[in-house]
A = this chain, B = another copy of it.
Amino acid sequence: MKIAILGHGTVGQGVSEIINDAPAGKGTAQIDIAYVWVRPEKAHERPYYTANYQEILEDPTVDVIVEVLGGLEPARTMILAALEHGKHVVTANKAVVARYLVLFNQMAEKHRVKFYFESSVGGGIPWIINLERALRIDEVDSIHGIFNGTSNFILDQMTKTGASFEDVLKEAQDLGYAEADPSADIDGFDIENKLCISADIAYNTVIEPGDQLLKFGIRNITAADIAFFKEHNWVVKLLGRSLRKEDTYSFIIEPTLYLPGEIEAGVHDNYNYVGLRGTTIGKLSFNGQGAGKLPTAHALMQDLLDLQQGANHLYQDFDQKLVLDNRRSIRNYVIRTTLDLRQSFADYDLQQNGPYWLVADINAEDLHRKIAELIQQDEHIFFACLNRRAQAIL
């Protein structure tokens, strides 16, 4: 099987490495890299580099396009062109999959090729394939977990060392875990894409990324917050969760507090922990490397081997009509702010302890809407949801 790789950054190089180092007995040894497409200014760097995509598209010996450019364009256009030219596409690009999953699937079906994207969620974790396999038998009504390794690394390091957010972010950037512009990782956009893709599959529907989905990241967390949480025996994690109930679904990304004995609290470093709940399988979760060169490349290789072996993934038409409703999720929240919250939360049970407030039994929609107002007056405001087992005493 011949492939062309679009982009040769970290993950693209990981794919090359796995293929070049493949032991003789493995299926990976039967995959050849025919081309690596790069931007014109880089095309001279290696003999198999090319900037001429048309040449790749028109080469009938190329079976699969592996897209690891990231971002919406030119990834979207190049994926569509590949499918139109009758080539399978495998991608690690969560942004473009979250937005165009249905379009890509329709185009793939029309041209009788496959569009696979295992590596777009959960890095090395075989998440998409197992979600799809569970759906062969079950209805899946819940998707939840720690979908972003960079923010987990930051929170874990802050908890272990007591260091500031800024210092740990800098460390994450030095280690290559975080980008120069860290917004996607720390503000929840990366999780949003991954949770959209997962929920699309789980519910056989289309959820568009956008402001209607509740997102609050960890940009504002301080060493003092971590110390306060520790005093209360809480461990903070950035959680994404979605629950379907009848024709509605919730979609919430927010810092969440666990007890040390809860499994999420044991997810350290840059690991991911992602899970589903199905009718007969019950709760099933995966803990593994959610990013990184070789784990992500491993997941891409899994898609390539499925193509090589003709193993079909689940077919879905994504035609379920569901309504977003975040009012059904009612929890306790801890808010840290310089503001006086008594007026804003007059309708709720409130506890105060210095700059920390505990709001009892508020639905996620109302809580996030109020925070969006309050952040206009206190741009450093931070909050976290208490997971059910965590005791609600400030």
Which residues of A are in contact with B by a Cβ distance under 8 Å? 14, 18, 22-23, 26-28, 124-126, 129-130, 133-134, 136-139, 235, 260-268, 275, 278-289, 292, 294-295, 297-298, 301-302, 305, 309, 311-312
Contact = CB atoms under 8 A, between A and B. Distances in A.
A363 to B, nearest CB: 28
A280 B139 CA distance: 32
A295 B267 contact: no
A183 B26 CA distance: 40
A282 B294 contact: yes
Contacts of A130: 126, 130
A278 B18 CA distance: 13
Contacts of A312: 309, 311
A260 B260 contact: yes
B287 A281 contact: no
Contacts of A136: 26-28, 301-302, 305
Give the top 3 A-B pairs by smallest Cβ distance, nearest first. A263-B266, A280-B294, A284-B288
B137 A282 contact: no
Contact of A262 (B14, B126, B266): B266
Given A28-B136, A309-B312, A281 B298 contact: yes
Nearest to A287: B285
A235 B124 CA distance: 29
Contact of A305 (B137, B265, B284, B309): B137
Contact of A286 (B138, B267, B285): B285
A130 to B, nearest CB: 5
B295 A289 contact: no
Contacts of A23: 139
A23 B133 CA distance: 15
A287 B287 contact: yes
Contact of A281 (B26, B124, B235): B124
Contacts of A28: 136-137
A285 B288 contact: yes
B302 A137 contact: yes
A136 B28 CA distance: 7
Contacts of A295: 280-282
Contacts of A298: 134, 137-138, 278, 280-281
